[in-house]
Structure 1
Amino acid sequence: MRLRHLAEAGLLAVAAVDAWLNATTDWDTILYAVVAVVVLVVRRRWPVPVFLLTLPALVVSGSVVATLIALYAVAIRYVNRPLLVACGLLAATAYLFPGLDFDLVTSDAVLGVIYATMTAAAPLFLGQFVRSQRELALRLEDVRQAREHERELDAQAVLAKERNQLAREMHDVVSHQVSLIAVQAGALQVSTVDPGARDAAENIRRLSVNTLDELRHMVNLLRANGSAATELTPQPTLSDLDRLVSGSGIEARLAGEVPAGMDAPAQRTIYRTIQEALTNVRKHAPGGVATVEFERSDGDVVVTVTNTAPSRPVLALPSARHGLVGLQERAALLGGTVTAGPTADGGFRLVLRVPVS
């Protein structure tokens, strides 16, 4: 930051020296030179008006540095070619204006036009080059983040496949055997006349039913999306939403009242859904603004994540599309639904509906 301030002061000093060397004792000339140097302070915010305000000093006294600095600010801010060409022509014409009394057919006139054109074109090309370099750096960072996200998704997909296979084995083998134990224990309870045997059969049947119920919950847990890194750490809750939204790396806000008193699985599902939606906004809608809204509808909690259209170029990045599938599976385990689709203004909307109980 200090180096940037020093560079800013150096540019203003060079422009001031150039204006002082070219200024005359005429008060109008001095006023134009002062205005041309002073307005450079706000050139990043209003580059075109600042550029226009530097032209009188260039026309009257030939003070060119302030105009070139302002022209560079225009080139680094805009990509509109007609605007850039128009500003370049204005700068070249203003540069030639003090010398228009020479004969236009002489070699000096031709050289003057060439020199004025090159002088005006240099900051334009330099500004466009720096702008392209910055955009390339941003795109490379987006590509890096997208590849990292894809690697995480691939790892989660492999883990989910293994978990699903284990869940199927548990369901097909263990559940079958325990079910037979429960059925036979129930039959023994009905057929026996021995009170001790009847109590033992009832106890076996009750334990078998409880085991089946726990097994069902374990199978559901295995089939749910997850990763090895998150299973051994404290799981997020709705109280962590503020930190999630503020640290999402995009412009996002919470709207509505966050529901209280929901059980842990529902809170994790809502949190992971919002997390995935904000990640997709950062990946597929750079520069977009996201809104996370909570509301109650027919006894359900409805979470809507909406983002505006991207304001920066969108890269065609590869996507395995595992995220939305995982969100739908999470919601289905709770009896909820997830719907997603584009909006009319070019944005995107994701809606999660989860039963309160």
Structure 2
Amino acid sequence: MSSRRFVDAAVLAVAVAEGVLTTIAEGTPYGIVTTAIAVLALLVRERWPLAVLLATMPAVLFPGTIVPAIVALYVVSSRWRDPWLLAGCGFLATAGFVFPMSEFAPSIWDFHTLLGVIYAAMTAIAPILLGQFLLSRRELALRLEEVKEAREHERRLDAEAILARERNQLAREMHDVVSHQVSLIAVQATALMVSTQDPDAKQAAGNVRQLSVNTLDELRHMVNLLRASGTPATELTPQPTLTDLERLIGNSAIDARLVGAAPEGLEPPVQRAIYRTIQEALTNVRKHAPGASATIEISHDDTDLTVTVTNTRPTRPNLALPSAQHGLVGLQERATLLGGKLHTGPMPDGGFQLRLRLPLTAVGTAHV
């Protein structure tokens, strides 16, 4: 903030000094009025840059003070990218710079007048180019920050996916191996209860059978907890469902809207597949199509459920960053496990579309 104030003070000091020196050189005190208006207008140049540029033009014509106009032209250029607006402002400034020299030249073809026009045009173009350069730099810094946030978000998603796979694998191992062995113990204990006549052996076999049943219940409970844990932040957080879509879209920092709805009674794996597909699509929009809007459409008929995410072309500069496309590969694998298909591709208008199609055996129930 202190450096900004120093720059503002330096700009005003240079403008005042130029105005005073120009007025003295012209030998008339009336030019101090237009110069004072131009210098004072610079105080509000960030709020009304176009109005300030117009306010500085009288000082350019009389007595010939150009620093305020150059500063105002730079502020206008650093605010907008409209080429017609910048060309108009540049032409206005060039005409103002040339006008004081026209009285010394009888014809536009005069050699000195042509040189003056060239110098005036270069003087007007310089602040425009500087303003556009700084505007591009600000946009690039903003884009890099968005890319950093998107990569951090993707890293968290990858960590969650890895953790979910490990826990699912552990759950499968516990279910397939431990559950199988404990079930055999329970079966053997039941057989012993039926075949033995010894009361003590019958009671011991009953205890073994009851302990096996209790162990199986505890094991199923632990497997469910492992499969339900979705994030490293909390051990018992359930996986997302379609009821979380509105919050996902609202927190995506993208102009996105949801059209349609899924049928009732979808199984949890199907709901997770839809949620993760939309989540990955919105992440890709934020990474690769800055400033674009997105439409999320969910539709279904008697045989298929379709989720389509379509985004418009980006409105801000896009950085060509390398991507391994692990997210799309994961979505493809998820769709294949559910018997569906995933299609991705560019649109004719410069946008991009991702479409997930899952088969339905009945309304609201998918193959898993």
TM superposition score category, shorter chain reference: 0.5 to 0.7
How much does 1:278 deviate? 1.1
Instruction: Give me the CA root mean square deviation.
Output: 5.3
* 1:186-240 superposed Cα distances (whole Å, 9 cap, x missing partner): 9x79xx9x9xx9xx9xxx8xx99xx69x97x959975x99433365235444333
Matches within 5 A, 1:99-110: 99-103=101-105
Check 1:231–1:225 CA distance in 2 against 1; reply closer, same or farther (3 A cut). closer
CA–CA separation in structure 1 for the residues paired with 2:125 and 2:32? 25
- Number of the residue aligned with 1:242: 246
- Number of the residue aligned with 1:135: 139
The amino acid of 2:285's aligned partner reads V
The amino acid of 2:98's aligned partner reads L
Q: Structure 1 residue 286 and structure 2 residue 290: aligned?
A: yes
How much does 1:250 deviate? 1.0
How much does 1:99 deviate? 2.1
CA–CA separation in structure 1 for the residues paired with 2:326 and 2:85? 44
Alignment TM-score, normalising by the size of structure 1 = 0.63
Contact 2:230–2:237 (CA under 8 A) maintained in structure 1: no
Contact 1:276–1:323 (CA under 8 A) maintained in structure 2: yes
Contact 1:331–1:337 (CA under 8 A) maintained in structure 2: yes
Contact 1:289–1:308 (CA under 8 A) maintained in structure 2: yes
Contact 1:277–1:350 (CA under 8 A) maintained in structure 2: yes
**Structure 1: 5+ residue stretches without partners:** 25-32
Contact 1:43–1:73 (CA under 8 A) maintained in structure 2: no
How much does 1:319 deviate? 3.4
CA–CA separation in structure 2 for the residues paired with 1:114 and 1:349? 50
How much does 1:42 deviate? 9.5
| Greater alpha carbon shift after TM alignment, 302-311 vs 225-234 | 225-234
**1:340 maps to which of 334, 339, 343:** 343
**1:310 maps to which of 301, 304, 314:** 314
SS of residue matched to 1:293 = strand
- Number of the residue aligned with 1:78: 81
The amino acid of 1:91's aligned partner reads A
| Greater alpha carbon shift after TM alignment, 59-68 vs 97-106 | 59-68
Matches within 5 A, 1:344-355: 344=347, 345-354=349-358, 355=360
Percent of aligned pairs sharing the same letter: 54
Alignment TM-score, normalising by the size of structure 2 = 0.61
CA–CA separation in structure 2 for the residues paired with 1:229 and 1:301? 32
How much does 1:114 deviate? 7.4
| Greater alpha carbon shift after TM alignment, 166-175 vs 346-355 | 166-175
How much does 1:340 deviate? 3.1
Contact 1:143–1:317 (CA under 8 A) maintained in structure 2: no
CA–CA separation in structure 1 for the residues paired with 2:300 and 2:332? 20
The amino acid of 1:97's aligned partner reads F
* 1:285-327 superposed Cα distances (whole Å, 9 cap, x missing partner): 1111101112222254322211112222222334343323433
How much does 1:279 deviate? 1.4
Contact 1:225–1:330 (CA under 8 A) maintained in structure 2: no
- Number of the residue aligned with 2:128: 124
Contact 1:71–1:123 (CA under 8 A) maintained in structure 2: yes
The amino acid of 1:69's aligned partner reads A
**Structure 2: 5+ residue stretches without partners:** 20-29
How much does 1:282 deviate? 0.7
Matches within 5 A, 1:1-357: 65=68, 69-70=72-73, 72-74=75-77, 76-78=79-81, 88=90, 91-103=93-105, 116-117=120-121, 119-156=123-160, 158-160=162-164, 162-163=166-167, 165-166=169-170, 169-170=173-174, 173-174=177-178, 177=181, 218=223, 222=227, 226-229=230-233, 231-257=235-261, 259-331=263-335, 335-344=338-347, 345-354=349-358, 355=360, 356-357=364-365
